[in-house]
Amino acid sequence: MNDMNGLDRLAVIVLNYNSGDDTRRCVDRILSFDLGCWMIIVDNCSTDDSYSRLMDAYGANDEVDVLQTGSNGGYGAGNNFGIRYAIDKYSADMVAIVNPDVYFPDGDIIPVMADRLRSKDEYGIIGARIVGRDGDCSPAWSTWSIPTVTELADHLFLQPRRYSKKPERNEVSPGLLKVGCVTGCFFLASVKCLSDIGFFDENIFLYYEETSLGIRCRDKGYITLFAEDLCYYHDHHLPDNKSMTLKQKISLTRDQYNSARYLCKKYYPRIGLFLLWTVEQANRFLLFVSYIKYKIGSGKKR
């Protein structure tokens, strides 16, 4: 392994679920930078042939470990599987969580973020600015404040205000801000911080993992950072709402609701549960009305 950048105790974890092609592109891109860090691919029990194809591609590569979880316990559980492996095998003191659909424009972003994260013991997590597939690089998609209970409910609503107040961002040095949360598609984290806060919360299968991390970092005295002067690309594929059935749309909102409800029960006043329940009922009504309008419109076109 090349240790020219001092990243021999950094492990990059890429969680794969039925996205073998994206995972290969992402891993090959990072390997091309020759950073000297460890690469760990975690297959979260894909239902396609991703795992076997990734094993064929990297099984003989000493710089890449290809693992498979015993079951799909969700985004947090899959990443925890890789994090614990990195600690046990490589004594990693820092991890980078990278989604398969992330693309880095150059090899500088990871070393720069690692240096900044290591500069103070109270720095726990650091993220950077996302550039979306449409070219949007609004900080709102990259970082946000830890929401109040009303903001949590508002975010769940299908017609949200998207947090009307300006997010709290306090500069700690040029280009580096103290924030509440950073997006989970790419960030670096101190292993000590993750260990102290209990890693990803595996009770959350999907959605709100980043908010949970932000809350627990704050409560344990760790600072979450946002490198606004560094950017990367995220080719996120959003579901096509027009092609989804009413049942699929309701299932999607239910998954979000369940995660928000868990978060609310653990960290917020009990009134939040009533607010979330109200929002969920409103969402179902909106989806039903939308479905009826669609059916009526389709009938008129015939």
What are the residue boundaries of the structural domains of the chain, listed by start? 10-234, 241-301
Residue 206: predicted pLDDT: 87
| Cβ-contact 210, 181 below 8 angstroms | yes
pTM reported for the whole predicted model: 0.88
- The residue count for the chain: 302
Residue 256: predicted pLDDT: 87
Its sign, for the CA torsion 106, 107, 109, 112, is negative
Residue 170: predicted pLDDT: 86
* Residue-averaged pLDDT of the chain: 88
163: number of CA atoms within 13 Å, CB side?
16
DSSP structure string for 39-54: EEEEE---SSSHHHHH
Residue 164: predicted pLDDT: 47
Its CATH architecture, for the domain 10-234, is Alpha-Beta Complex (3.90)
Residue 2: predicted pLDDT: 47
Residue 297: predicted pLDDT: 65
Phi, psi dihedrals of residue 70, rounded to the nearest 5°: -75, -25
Question: SS3 of 181, please?
Answer: strand
C-alpha distances out from residue 3 to 7, 11, 32, 37, 202, Å? 6, 13, 14, 8, 33
**Cβ-based neighbours of 280, under 8 Å, separated by 6 or more:** 156, 253, 254, 257
| Cβ-contact 264, 146 below 8 angstroms | no
Q: Kindly report, residue by residue over 49-63, the tens digit of the pLDDT.
A: 999 999 999 999 999
pLDDT lower than 50: segments of the chain: 2, 4, 162-164, 238-240
Residue 158: predicted pLDDT: 73
